[in-house]
Structure formats: C-alpha cells, structure tokens
Amino acid sequence: MQIKIDQIIHSHRKSIALIIRSDGKLVVRAPLRLSHARIQEFVSLKTNWILAQQEKAAARQILVHAFINGETFLFLGKSTPLELVDHAREALRLDACLRLRRSDQSQAGQVILKWYRQQARQILTSRVKLYAQKYALSYSKVRLSSARTRWGSCSSKGTLSFTWRLVMAPVEIIDYVVIHELVHLEIKNHSSDFWKKVQEYLPDYKKRRAWLKANGYQLDLGI
Ligand SMILES: [Zn+2]
C-alpha cells in the first residue's frame, strides 16, 4: 500500500519531517535536493505511524456536530445517536437515543451542554461519595469544570474538581479519575507512594490511565 503524499515542501534543512494536518493530509518537509523516490521510501517506512495519525485526525473531524438525526454522542463510553422529536416535554431526554425536541434544534449545543453538565454533576458526585465511603476518605465538595485535558484536581481545602467531559468516558475511566483525586486528599504529589495507593484501590489503573491518554481527545462535544 502506497501512502499518498499531499504536499512536499523543500527547504534548507537536513532531515525529513512528516506532518499530519488536522484534515488528515500528509505534508512532508524535506531537504532541497532529496529525490521524490527517497521521500516516498521514507514515507513507506513510516506507514503505520502515518495511518495511526490519520485515523486520529479523522476521529477528531467528526467532533464538529450539526445536531441532526443519527449523529452520535458519547455518553458513559457509548456512542448514542441523536433523534429529533416533534413533541416532548423536555428539551433533551436519554433512552435508547438522545432525543432532542425539534423546536430546540437551533440551540442544540447549549441544550446538550447543559444536559451533559447535569449528568456529570450527578454521576461524579455519586462516584465520589461511593469511593470516599469505601476508603474512608473525607472531602469537602465536588466542583465541575470545563477543562479539556485536566480531568480532575484536588485543592488544599479538599475540594475535588472534575471536568464534565468525563461523563463521555466509560464509567471505569471516571472511577480512575475519581480515585486518583481522592488519593490526592492524603498524598498531594505524584510520588511512588501516591501511585502505590492508587494501585492498591485500582490494580489495573495503568490500563485506565492509558485509555484516557489515548482517547481523551474524543471527550469533546465539538461546540
Ligand atoms: Zn494527580
């Protein structure tokens, strides 16, 4: 399989650089006199990396929502289709689908955001309560943030903050972040003692943390 190079930019440089643009196109920056054959050869050596990056770029693309029938939204790790309904008591309701009242379509972004935040408050508060009780840890309150990559934090006063985006992730991932922050109530840093404690509560925490690193960018509404 030959990888398609969308653009080659020659310049005074000594090495080759591959750039995957946000639309998935491959741009190669190459030294002035490097032949096309050599560039193609280099690119084919990097096939796996390029395909992986293009896949990620494609996944990011679908994050721009138009709020139309059949479009999917992540909730607790499940891809849930949107369905517009003509008559409904609430602007948005979840059963097998995420049902959006048609008269609210023009403000769908805000309606969905509000719904995610409500779900997040409920779910995160109850997971925190559950594990705090289980491990006899005391916190002062739970706060919601909108952070994109800072999944959670723990203040010196014992306030636990979590981004609402976490409710797009599977519950095992939510639990990892919750337990991570709960352990910070006792150990503020990321020392080996900290990770030992996390592992004691969640023996497979590394797998969950890796999932978050690899997939965190998907936990976004694209609005
Ligand atoms: Zn931490």
What are the phi and psi torsion angles at 27 (to 5°)?
A: -115, 135
Q: How far is the CA of 165 from the centre of ligand 1 (A)?
A: 17
Q: How far is the CA of 153 from the centre of ligand 1 (A)?
A: 7
Q: How far is the CA of 175 from the centre of ligand 1 (A)?
A: 14
Q: How far is the CA of 114 from the centre of ligand 1 (A)?
A: 27
Q: How far is the CA of 113 from the centre of ligand 1 (A)?
A: 26
**In whole angstroms, what is the distance from residue 9 CA to residue 16 CA?**
10
The pLDDT confidence band at residue 220, using thresholds 50, 70 and 90, is confident
For each of the domains in the chain, give its residue range(s) and CATH number, in order of start: 7-61 (no CATH), 72-112 (no CATH), 119-218 (3.30.2010.10)
Q: How far is the CA of 149 from the centre of ligand 1 (A)?
A: 12
Q: How far is the CA of 162 from the centre of ligand 1 (A)?
A: 12
Query: 83-107, pLDDT tens digit by residue?
Result: 999 989 999 999 989 999 999 988 9
Q: What is the pLDDT of residue 62?
A: 55
Q: What is the 3-state secondary structure (H, E, C) of the chain?
A: CCCCCCEEEEECCCCCEEEECCCCCEEEEEECCCCHHHHHHHHHHCHHHHHHHHHHHHHHHCCCCCCCCCCEEEECCEEEEEEEECCCCCCEEECCCEEEEHHHHHHHHHHHHHHHHHHHHHHHHHHHHHHHHHCCCCCCEEEEECCCCCCEEECCCCEEEEEHHHHHCCHHHHHHHHHHHHHHCCCCCCCHHHHHHHHHHCCCHHHHHHHHHHHHHHCCCCC
68 has a pLDDT exceeding 90: no
Do the Cβ atoms of 42 and 63 come closer than 8 Å? Answer: no
The pLDDT confidence band at residue 1, using thresholds 50, 70 and 90, is low
The pLDDT confidence band at residue 71, using thresholds 50, 70 and 90, is confident
Q: Which amino acid is at 13?
A: R
Q: How far is the CA of 188 from the centre of ligand 1 (A)?
A: 8
Q: How far is the CA of 212 from the centre of ligand 1 (A)?
A: 13
Q: How far is the CA of 197 from the centre of ligand 1 (A)?
A: 12
Of 171, 152, 153, 169, which Cα lies nearest the Cα of 220?
169
Q: How far is the CA of 122 from the centre of ligand 1 (A)?
A: 22
Q: Which two tokens stand for residue 205?
A: 């925490």
- Average pLDDT value over all residues in the chain: 92
**In whole angstroms, what is the distance from residue 153 CA to residue 131 CA?**
16
Burial class (CB in 10 A: 0-12, 13-18, 19+), 77: middle
The partner residues of 29 in beta bridges, in order of sequence, read 9, 17
